[in-house]
A and B are shown apart, each in its own frame.
Chain A
Amino acid sequence: MASQRGDAFDYALKSNEAWANYKGHQNPAFFEKLATGQSPSILWLGCSDSRVPETTLLGLQPGDVFVHRNIANIISPTDINSNAVIEYAVVHLKVSHIVLCGHTFCGGAGAALGDSRVGGVIDAWITPLRAIRKAHDEELNAIKDSAKRAVRLAELNVEAGVQVLLSNFVVEEAVKDRGLKVHGAVYDIACGKVRDLKCGNSGSLPGSATEEELEIIKGNHGMLVFGGDGAKMAIR
């Protein structure tokens, strides 16, 4: 058993060495540049689940995404941990987007839909999820498939979290002052894709909709409308 433990541990360290060598070889200035500072445009709030690695699935690079991940991506108004992350990202790093992302097959959603006690401190943590379940009892009970019911709860959880974010003072201020966008999404583990729930303050994540929808969404929010052959500015 001891040797097995050692293997998994050594593997991660060796793997890091290979990655660092590869990155340094690809672009010799890569790490030097990283050390000068960070200016991510996205704050990702997601689940701790090992199957949802934000930077990997977004195809982004170190330096692109500021990250907080917890059990069931719960955004509780008085949680100092996530509040500190949001404050730092919005006020100090001035991110342009906050993406709150839930996912299918979420263990936290499964636990909140069950009636047994998880034990320890987890029951307290997932209380907001239980409250959402109670508030939408009828709708959730009507869904016979348990996996689908958990997905629906995950969606409702993201919607509730987005509302908490939009009521956060520094978020509200950044939305007003510099057009910060808050987005809600769900990641589908079975196909690897992020689905926009269009429940934030911008309607849709750009790139997630067709070109035509994108234009309308932009228009709905009094923003720029992009013409087919590029550069035209108009306010709807």
Chain B
Amino acid sequence: MDAQGRHFSVSHFLRQNQNRIFENNRAWVEAKLEEDPTFFERLSAGQEPDYLYIGCSDSRVPANEIMGLEAGEVFVHRNIANLVPNTDLNVMSVIEYAVLHLKVKHIIVCGHYNCGGVQAALSHSDMGLLNPWLRNIRDVYRLNEKELDEIEDAEQKWKRLVELNVLEQCKNVIKTAAVQQSYTKNEFPIVHGWVFDLRDGLLKDLKLDFEEALKDIKKIYDLEVGPH
């Protein structure tokens, strides 16, 4: 096949790839309506999700699919390596909205093994714009330096940093005024740390002791009381 022909087939493939999206969207709408003719009508009345999911942007970890939840059931924020940096207005706005306005019952920070962001943080390279973002993961390494240094196997080290990163981001969620104040008043939300394993599709609960973590954090980061 000549160069022109090859160009055609790649474009043609991409076009079909995109056609799939709108066709699939229509098929999904039809299937939903068949199950429940009022499905979309009910959704337009408002949202009352029980969960806020903070996960990785990675295409292999779609929140609703891995949790088996429907449209309307989980509020979602996804970024590189599921980070919750203190000064990031983007993720902080998401947490505030979910806790104070939607009154979610659970906040899940979900990482995943084979995370490219965590791997990049383990490598020693200048990644330009990504540096300040990945820096947060390197800080997690520093906070757990002794434990991680002792792991010789690179794959195991990578996996452990994925887990420790999730636990640290859970702490960052608990450091917010919204979570602390809502929990005192309503006994929710509860913060959970999960890791998704791409090899079997299963979620692993890291069993963060929320009450204990909250108590520890409040020793320094107590934002319970207003300025007055």
Query: Which chain A residues (185-228) contact chain B, with CB distance < 8 Å?
Result: 189-194, 205-208, 223-224, 226
- In the complex, A178 Cα to B36 Cα: how many Å? 43
Interface size grouping (class) on chain B: 35 or more
Query: Which of B23, B59, B73 interacts with A50 by CB under 8 Å?
Result: B73
Contact B75 A23 (CB under 8 A): no
A52 at the binding interface (Cβ < 8 Å)? yes
Q: How far is the CB of A149 from chain B (nearest CB, A)?
A: 16
Return chain B residues, CB-CB under 8 Å to A89: 57
Please tell me if the beta carbons of B51 and A12 are within 8 angstroms of each other in the complex: yes
- The smallest C-beta distance from A57 to any residue of chain B, in angstroms, reads 6
In the complex, chain A residues 1-19 whose Cβ is within 8 Å of any chain B Cβ: 1-2, 4-5, 8-9, 12-13, 15-19
CB distance from A22 to the nearest CB of B (A): 9
Segment at the interface with A among B88-96, B141-149, B158-166: B88-96
Interface contact B22-A208, CB-CB below 8 Å: yes
Taking CB atoms, residues of chain A closer than 8 Å to B63 are 53
CB contact under 8 A between A191 and B40, given known A16-B203, A19-B201? yes
CB neighbours of A132 from chain B (8 A): none
- The listed residue (B57, B67, B85, B106) touching A5 by CB distance below 8 A is B106
Q: Contact residue range for chain A? A: 35 or more
Interface residue A148 (Cβ < 8 Å from any Cβ of B): no
Contact in complex: A55, B77 (CB < 8 Å) = no
In chain B between 12 and 67, which residues have their CB closer than 8 angstroms to a CB of chain A?
A: 12, 14-15, 17-29, 32-33, 39-41, 43-44, 46-47, 49-51, 57-67
Interface flag for B4 (CB, 8 Å) = yes
A51 touches B88 (CB 8 A): no
B114 at the interface (CB under 8 A from A): yes
For residue A72, which residue of chain B has the nearest CB? B93
Q: Look across to chain A and name the residue whose beta carbon is closest to the beta carbon of B83.
A: A81
- CB of B80 within 8 A of CB of A88, answer yes
Given A63-B59, A104-B44, A190-B40, also A68-B78 (CB < 8 A): yes
Chain A positions within 8 Å of B15 at CB level: 206-207, 226
| CB nearest to A104 among chain B residues | B44
Q: How far is the CB of A68 from chain B (nearest CB, A)?
A: 6
Given A8-B51, A53-B71, A64-B59, A58 and B79 touching (CB < 8 A)?
no
Q: Is there an interface contact between B129 and A83, defined as CB atoms closer than 8 Å?
A: yes
Tell me whether B227 is interfacial, beta carbon within 8 Å.
no
B154 interfacial contact with A, CB 8 Å: no
- Check: A85 CB closer than 8 A to any chain B CB: yes
Could you tell me which residues of chain A, from 77 to 106, have a CB within 8 Å of some CB in chain B?
79-85, 87-89, 92, 96-97, 104-105
| Complex Cα spacing A71 to B113, Å | 27
> Which listed residue, A62, A126, A223, touches B11 by the CB 8 Å rule?
A223
Residue A67, interface by CB 8 Å: yes
> Nearest residue in A to B27 (C-beta to C-beta)?
A59
Judge whether B60 and A63 touch: CB under 8 Å.
yes
Q: Quick one: closest B residue to A65, CB to CB? A: B59
Residues in B with CB closer than 8 Å to A5 are 105-106, 187-188, 190
A residues in contact with B205, CB < 8 Å: 13
User: Mind listing 23 A-B residue pairs with CB under 8 Å?
Assistant: A5-B188, A9-B106, A12-B51, A12-B106, A15-B68, A16-B68, A20-B200, A35-B199, A48-B75, A51-B72, A56-B62, A64-B59, A81-B91, A84-B133, A87-B128, A107-B97, A121-B89, A121-B92, A126-B93, A192-B33, A192-B39, A193-B29, A207-B21
Closest 3 CB pairs of A and B: A59-B24, A15-B68, A20-B201
